[in-house]
Chain A
């Protein structure tokens, strides 16, 4: 007997250009709405994925437009998961401290807010890097009660 996998999958591949951020957001919101997630949560998920992809474009690929970003979405009744893969420079999120806005202000620092937003908006954010091969960030949101 085979058990039917009820999870739904979708994939999007885009080049590492900021103009593709809106393509990514549309892809995420379409899937999240199909998953039956409420609009406010859909918008939070969209923002978290935008932040992850912005980081990939700026840091992993250093704004070179030819890098590849692969976004996989998988959802079930209870959980909405986005996996984002890139082949750029690896990233060590543990080295990114929680932002101290007062300090940012004093030091004219403008980056680093994205990771904090991702962690605030999602239930789980996990980075995996195989240096020289690929980087993966997994974002997930529990949706059973949304």
Chain B
């Protein structure tokens, strides 16, 4: 079975979700639960760190689509960081860079939140 896990760290006002392993239709609900929980706790400033993510399918990409609007309506954002070239290419193929801020390093995304 594909392994996937997440961990969340609070960095000031920002919640950082670290992704690890394989994000597909089977494992996407784990990440959905993370977003649901953060939104329930009114945490709308979210950075997702892809450093340890080995694989993503469109079911995984769909998770970001599902939550972005309600998060932005609450003056928050989902910023994506530390993607491998392989994972970035999939995001790029689907036009995500037009809708999401994608940074090379987590620190850049944190800094961006702290500026606003």
**A-B interaction:** yes
- Which residue of chain B has its CB nearest to the CB of A58? B25
Q: How far is the CA of A40 from the CA of B85 in the complex (A)?
A: 11
Q: A113-B94, A114-B58 are in contact. Are A104 and B65 (CB under 8 A)?
A: yes
Which of the residues B86, B94, B96 comes within 8 Å of A116, measured between beta carbons?
B94
Could you tell me the distance in whole angstroms from the C-beta of B64 to the nearest C-beta in chain A? 9
Total interface residues on B, CB under 8 Å, equals 25
Per DSSP, are chain B's interface residues mostly helix, strand or loop, or mixed?
A: helix
What total count of A-B pairs have CB within 8 Å? Answer: 74
Q: How far is the CA of A70 from the CA of B106 in the complex (A)?
A: 42
Q: How far is the CA of A19 from the CA of B65 in the complex (A)?
A: 23
- A101 within 8 Å of B by Cβ? yes
Which of the residues A19, A111, A114, A116 comes within 8 Å of B57, measured between beta carbons?
A114
B-side contacts of A108, CB under 8 Å: 65-66, 69
Interface range on chain A (Cβ under 8 Å from partner): 20 to 34
> A residues engaging B (CB < 8 A)?
17-19, 21-22, 25, 40, 43, 47, 50-51, 54, 57-58, 99, 101-102, 104-105, 108-111, 113-114, 116-117, 120
> B residues engaging A (CB < 8 A)?
1-2, 22, 24-26, 55, 57-59, 61-63, 65-66, 68-69, 86, 90, 93-96, 98-99
